[in-house]
Amino acid sequence: MKDRIALRGLIAAVAMAMAIAPTAALAIPAQGETVNVPHNFQPGYDTYDEFHQGVADLKAGRFPEAEAHFSHVLVMVPTDADSMFLLGMARAGRGDLAGARRAFQDTLKLDAHRVFAHRELALTYIKLGQADKARSELAVLRGQSAECAGTCSDADKYADAIKSVEAALPPG
């Protein structure tokens, strides 16, 4: 039962993350767009399609498949924060908390103001028994929320993220 509830929570988090960063705003190249490609480029490879296959697999709970798709996209577009975040969600979904932590940390290196990446990193720290690190992430969220002062477009997201982390933190 707990696994089903956790899976529903993960799916809800993915849905919220996708609502925040709709595909039109992603750094994924549009179909037919030219990009600098690495030496291991495969003819006919489509990062746009691969990304959306990963999203579909993530929503369906096919976490290993989603992880593979986002990993492939990141080979081609290593600075895509959306793919990095969703890679973390896929890893968390299959129980690889250390891998999820790394992906969320890498997401924040690409974009330090990703509200949900901070939240998921803090929640992952809690699951790993690292409440002190979770409190540090909570402090970052609170600081960014204070900078926003309730007026930026992410104000509600900050409030929700802070509430989620506070609720999950063990007493002390």
Residue 155 pLDDT level (bands cut at 50, 70, 90): very high
Q: What pTM did the predictor assign?
A: 0.76
Secondary structure string (H, E, C) spanning 16-52: HHHHHCCHHHCCCCCCCCCCCCCCCCCCCCCHHHHHH
Average pLDDT, the chain: 83
The structure tokens listed for 110 are 């690409």
d(CA 71, CA 84): 8
What is the pLDDT averaged over residues 72-89? 94
Domain ranges of the chain: 1-21+47-99, 112-172
Residue-wise pLDDT tens digits, 21-58: 433 334 444 555 444 444 445 556 688 899 999 999 99
pLDDT of 81 over the 50 cut: yes
pLDDT of 66 over the 90 cut: yes
Nearest to 162 by CA among 129, 100, 118: 118
Write down the pLDDT at residue 123.
98
Write down the pLDDT at residue 118.
98
Write down the pLDDT at residue 139.
97
Write down the pLDDT at residue 35.
47
What is the distance in angstroms between the CA of the first residue and the CA of the last residue of the chain? 28
